[in-house]
Structure 1
Amino acid sequence: MTSRYSRDAGPNFNNGIKNVALVGTTGQLGKVFVEHILKTGKHNLTAITRAGSNTNVPEGAKVAAVDYNDESSLVAALTGQDFLVITLALTAPPDTHSKLVRAAAKAGVPYIMPNAYGIDFYGKPTLLEDIPALQSILSNVKEVEEVGAQWIGLTPSFWFEYSLGVGPFTYGFDFPNKSVTFFDDGKTKVNTTTWPQRVPDDESDQSVTLAQFVNKPVYISSFRLNQREMLNSVNAFMKKTDDDWKISYQPAGKRSKEGWEELAKGDGRGFLKGMYSRVFQSPSDGVYETHNDLLGLPKEDLAQAVQDAHNWSVSQRASDN
């Protein structure tokens, strides 16, 4: 008979996540996962890397080089892992996610966090209808169930630092040219999350377990903002006013259509332009209730987040030159 409580399960029972495997350790999101997983001191972290790559991972993480065309190498790297976190770039081969999920199931990994970070396509079916790419992302999630494993989805909406600083095709801000495009009137709110937003490193949230979120999304958010509020915060940080910006307005629906047309012509930024402006259409599909309180997530400082986004933007431009 299965023990109902962990205290009755015997000395060899593991009631926590000890071994974590992570794919995409050097990406913008993967680096944050690595930093905070190692910081807890509670987990053994294995970085799954492609054989022959020159991936450098922080001290404290084990490296497992794999051949994605050889399932046995994936299974070997994932055997003994309690949790697999997948963070893949948009440029990754389309079958990579499926190969990881199927190998993890054969290796007996009980929990998988799929590569499905972003907007709430679980609770907003119209987004699935309007953004076809989300159908394939949802298929990635459902495949975890199909192979007999369990998924935990992380839904942060748009990542704040990237979205504010990467260019005008996301939140509409073009820092080098001091211009911003408001979608409609710029007052439609969406949830947005910073990369470091996480559970505090203590034991105060003892009631929270992975079992509460099996095959469900976990909703987190740092702020619920509109573009007007973003610009106010940017102005406060940069000691600027609206007069220092070229401010324009564009209907969100028209902008979204433009994005899809640009994508069809081969401009990958068109996907971001179409998706972001679609979510900003009023009434907003970018607003949801979060699990922040349940997880004990800290309240963040918008001014600090804007500074971090600005610094990230500057460093990205420097690395591109």
Structure 2
Amino acid sequence: MAAIRVAVAGPNGTLGPPVIKHLVKQGFQVTLLSRDPDKASKQYPPPTKAISADYTSVEQLTEILQQNGPFDCLIILINRDQLEPQIKLIDAAIAAGVPHIVPSSFGIDSSSPEVHDLPQIQGKMKMEKYLLGKANEGLVSFTGINTGLFFDWALEVAGIPINLKGGPTFLADGGGVALSVSTLDLIGQAVAQAIHKRDEARNRFLFVHSAVVTQKQLLQYAQEIAPDRDFPIVEVDTEKAAAEAREKMQRGETGMMVAMPLLMRVSFGLGLGLFKKVDNEFLGLDVMSEDDVKALVAKYVNKKW
């Protein structure tokens, strides 16, 4: 059987290493479309191949895909905020005859009406609408993968779900709301498996997670691991904080931190950060045990920042 041939756009971002690792591990032929092919070549040695790509040109992207293909799938790992490059990649894939796309849909489920107005996902919403329209026309098929919060990435940065760098954790509505989280490695596995099952997962949004956690649970683990350390908290009423955020935005204030309470309200206050049903079994993905979760927290509690 011939190897599945995939093109990966955006290999130098957060999801590049785990996704490409599992594509190579599972025997895919991988071509990287990168704005910095030298960097990509150094990070991903053969058998992967890196090619210079201009994400502003549908014509150049189409030519690259035609000349280096045929490809069975295009995987887009570009940040979801970058709408225009994603649209151009979708158009180029269609023009080049690439039959299937895994878009940059990673993260929160955008199907709930309460999520639609979040400033953080407007690019994702527009991209998904555009891709769905092309799929409905029969021009291409896709498989979207919703992952919830990137778990290990989030533990390494200050903020949600907990702060392990010494600053306060913003405890949303008491900290007992369950949240779906996925490790970067599981996301890499999910992408590779979804491509293997692309016929069964045609024009579907899949849901995966590594674990279901709460802020209180993670803080408890951190305290058990480092009993002599202080892990301060700031209690947040997400309904009140979201209302204040909307007032600021109406006054013209912008920025990630201004809009953050809206995401907290949706994820925690409304409980929409929890996937009610996941496709882990369909994709052959394991769920972390409690000991696994605690070990991951310990890795970052003990890290020398």
- Write the distance in 2 (CA, Å) between the matches of 1:102 and 1:200: 26
- The aligned residue for residue 206 of structure 2 is 218
- The aligned residue for residue 45 of structure 1 is 30
1:65 positional shift: 0.9
Mapped pair 1:88 → 2:75: no
1:281 positional shift: 0.6
Among 8, 12, 21, the alignment partner of 1:22 is 8
Cα–Cα, structure 1 residues 98 and 190, in superposed 2: closer, same or farther, change >3 Å?
same
Aligned residue type for 1:179: P
Cα–Cα, structure 1 residues 162 and 304, in superposed 2: closer, same or farther, change >3 Å?
same
Residue 56 of structure 2: SS of its match in structure 1?
A: coil
Query: How big is each residue's C-alpha offset from its partner over 1:40-95, in whole Å with a ceiling of 9 and x where there is no partner?
Result: 2x111111012677444311211111223332220122231111111113564x31
Among 134, 139, 163, the alignment partner of 2:126 is 139
- Write the distance in 2 (CA, Å) between the matches of 1:64 and 1:156: 28
- The aligned residue for residue 267 of structure 2 is 279
Q: Is the contact between residue 117 and residue 156 of structure 1 (CA under 8 Å) also seen in structure 2?
A: yes
Q: Is the contact between residue 155 and residue 164 of structure 2 (CA under 8 Å) also seen in structure 1?
A: no
Cα–Cα, structure 1 residues 262 and 157, in superposed 2: closer, same or farther, change >3 Å?
farther
- Write the distance in 2 (CA, Å) between the matches of 1:91 and 1:54: 22
Residue 144 of structure 2: SS of its match in structure 1?
A: strand
Normalised to the residue count of structure 1, the TM-score between the two structures is 0.79
Aligned residue type for 1:143: Y
**Where in structure 1 do 4 or more consecutive aligned residues deviate above 6 Å?**
none
1:132 positional shift: 4.6
Normalised to the residue count of structure 2, the TM-score between the two structures is 0.82
- The aligned residue for residue 3 of structure 1 is none
- The aligned residue for residue 8 of structure 1 is none
Higher mean alpha-carbon deviation, 100-109 vs 82-91, is at: 82-91
- The aligned residue for residue 10 of structure 1 is none
Mapped pair 1:181 → 2:167: no
1:158 positional shift: 0.9
Among 130, 144, 149, the alignment partner of 1:158 is 149
- Write the distance in 1 (CA, Å) between the matches of 2:94 and 2:14: 26
- Write the distance in 2 (CA, Å) between the matches of 1:21 and 1:262: 42
Q: Is the contact between residue 191 and residue 222 of structure 1 (CA under 8 Å) also seen in structure 2?
A: yes
Residue 221 of structure 1: SS of its match in structure 2?
A: coil
- Bigger share in helix: 2
- Write the distance in 2 (CA, Å) between the matches of 1:239 and 1:230: 12
- The aligned residue for residue 73 of structure 1 is 60
Mapped pair 1:31 → 2:17: yes
Aligned residue type for 1:186: G
Among 235, 243, 247, the alignment partner of 1:249 is 235
- The aligned residue for residue 167 of structure 1 is 158
Identity %: 21
Q: Which runs of 5+ in 2 are unaligned?
A: none
Query: How big is each residue's C-alpha offset from its partner over 1:72-120, in whole Å with a ceiling of 9 and x where there is no partner?
Result: 220122231111111113564x311111000000011111111111111
Q: Is the contact between residue 198 and residue 297 of structure 1 (CA under 8 Å) also seen in structure 2?
A: no
Residue 181 of structure 2: SS of its match in structure 1?
A: strand
1:222 positional shift: 0.9
- Write the distance in 2 (CA, Å) between the matches of 1:240 and 1:261: 40
- Write the distance in 2 (CA, Å) between the matches of 1:27 and 1:273: 26
Cα–Cα, structure 1 residues 248 and 71, in superposed 2: closer, same or farther, change >3 Å?
closer
